[in-house]
């Protein structure tokens, strides 16, 4: 581990020691108070590494400016990373485990639980010979998504402040709330942030650049039934549990997450609650192409209509709630962010792939609100679970991409 990697790693270990799990069921903003505590911690650190105008706003967003150190013309560039971790797996008491100088074999995450990583189960490890690999200890997720992004941005600011010979224009940082729920960035004040374009440092594998993403909605299906004694139910009972199961099983099998990849869309039915009086099905709709996305919603609406006819005694409602939209067209219309990014990748001799992400980032919503924001790899893989890992060599390359963007933007 070289000095730069050590600095980023040290910050990362400190950050993941602070639990910041977000809560999609919460009505608060941010969804959990721990995010505010972490925001205050980051704001204090930002002031020590060169940021000015540092503040934590009423929603918990942390922002600051690294002032330009040149009189030459340069755009104002923003760098984003999110503070929360996903609620799908334990995000408290995280203890990163360092595996130095990876030799290409099996990595032990937890011997007692028989939890291991290998090139067979994590093929990208084949690209990491000699790298220092970081995993969790088998009891939690790692938190690379996205606290490694925060560590990269913070270390970049410290480095540029210590090296004034590297000329750059105004750089802004924003550490955001509730990215994992898809709701936080809607409260971010894009106009006040006043950047010309930005980057989220929240991608995965080395060289993957998200310049497009799913269109995304939440979907909720509410079923109100009729309950009675099962011995006299014939011709009367409308069982919401059975109706929910019928709706889910009737959705085409080739339009599910487990049967699609690439730019293929899907509907994921992820939660069912209720009983003989009422039931609720919650899910997500995902599709890259907006026309196909609308067709998916129409298909599900038609399916629900069929079930209304099949179960006339029940009341069945379907509701869609917008989550985010594809940023691809915005980045094409305003190409400066992508031009600088691709030049930085080439300068650092990184083979890259422009990806239509099977998910979304804060950048998708920011782009559609007027701030073009592609997503840069941060160096982690297998997020949202105990098999998450990152390569510090990949992390260092992400750092140098941001450095090149900052200096090359100066004209």
Note whether 202 and 146 are within 8 A (CB).
yes
Q: What is the pLDDT at residue 357? A: 78
Provide the H-helix boundaries in 260-335.
Answer: 290-310, 328-333
Q: What is the pLDDT at residue 360? A: 67
Long-range contacts of 271-275 (CB under 8 A, 24+ apart): 272/241, 272/244, 272/248, 274/223, 274/240, 274/241, 274/244, 275/240, 275/241
Question: Cα separation of 15 and 19, whole Å?
Answer: 8
Residues in contact with 332: Cβ distance below 8 Å, sequence separation at least 6, in sequence order: none
Number of neighbouring beta carbons within 10 Å of residue 385 = 14
Q: What is the pLDDT at residue 361? A: 72
Note whether 334 and 197 are within 8 A (CB).
yes
Half-sphere exposure (CA, 13 Å, Cβ side) for 176?
A: 34
Domains detected in the chain = 3-213+326-408 (3.40.630.10), 215-323 (3.30.70.360)
**Active site residue ranges:** 84, 179
Residues in contact with 318: Cβ distance below 8 Å, sequence separation at least 6, in sequence order: 219, 220, 221, 222, 300, 301, 304
Question: Cα separation of 361 and 359, whole Å?
Answer: 7
First to last CA, the chain: 34
Bridge partners (DSSP) listed for residue 108? 116
Q: Could you tell me the mean pLDDT of each successive run of 10 residues in the chain, 411 residues long?
A: 97 97 94 97 98 97 98 96 94 96 96 95 95 97 96 98 97 96 92 97 88 91 93 90 96 96 93 95 94 96 97 96 86 93 97 83 87 94 94 97 97 84
Bridge partners (DSSP) listed for residue 324? 216
């Amino acid at each position: 581990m070289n000095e730069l990697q050590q600095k980023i790693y040290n910050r990362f270990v400190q950050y993941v020691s602070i639990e910041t799990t977000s809560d999609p069921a919460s009505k608060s903003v941010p969804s959990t108070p721990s995010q505010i505590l972490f925001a205050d911690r980051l704001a204090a650190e930002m002031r020590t590494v060169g940021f000015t105008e540092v503040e934590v706003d009423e929603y918990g967003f942390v922002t600051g400016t690294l002032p330009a150190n040149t009189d030459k013309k340069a755009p104002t560039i923003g760098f984003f990373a999110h503070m929360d971790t996903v609620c799908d797996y334990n995000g408290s008491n995280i203890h990163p485990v360092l595996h130095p100088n990876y030799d290409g074999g099996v990595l032990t995450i937890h011997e007692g639980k028989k939890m291991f990583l290998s090139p067979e189960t994590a093929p990208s490890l084949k690209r990491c010979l000699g790298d220092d690999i970081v995993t969790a200890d088998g009891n939690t997720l790692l938190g690379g998504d996205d606290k490694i992004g925060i560590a990269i941005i913070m270390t970049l600011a410290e480095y540029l402040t210590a090296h004034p010979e590297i000329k750059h224009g105004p750089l802004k940082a924003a550490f955001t709330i509730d990215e994992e729920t898809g709701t936080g960035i809607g409260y971010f004040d894009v106009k006040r942030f006043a950047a010309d374009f930005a980057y989220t440092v929240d991608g995965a594998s080395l060289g993957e650049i998200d310049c497009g993403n799913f269109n995304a909605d939440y979907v909720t299906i509410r079923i109100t039934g009729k309950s009675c004694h099962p011995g006299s139910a014939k011709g009367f009972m409308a069982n919401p549990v059975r109706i929910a199961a019928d709706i889910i099983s009737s959705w085409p099998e080739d339009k599910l997450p487990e049967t699609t990849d690439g730019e293929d869309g899907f509907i994921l039915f992820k939660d069912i609650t209720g009983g003989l009086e009422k039931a609720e099905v919650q899910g997500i709709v995902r599709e890259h192409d907006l026309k196909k996305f609308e067709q998916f919603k129409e298909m599900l609406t038609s399916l629900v209509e069929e079930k209304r006819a099949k179960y006339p005694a029940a009341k069945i409602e379907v509701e869609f709630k917008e989550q985010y939209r594809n940023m691809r067209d915005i980045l094409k219309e305003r190409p400066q962010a992508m031009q600088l990014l691709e030049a930085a990748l080439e300068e650092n001799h990184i083979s890259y792939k422009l990806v239509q992400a099977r998910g979304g980032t804060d950048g998708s919503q920011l782009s559609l609100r007027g701030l073009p924001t592609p997503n840069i790899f941060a160096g982690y893989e297998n997020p949202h679970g105990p098999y998450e890992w990152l390569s510090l060599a990949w992390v260092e390359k992400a750092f140098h991409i941001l450095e090149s963007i900052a200096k090359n933007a100066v004209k």
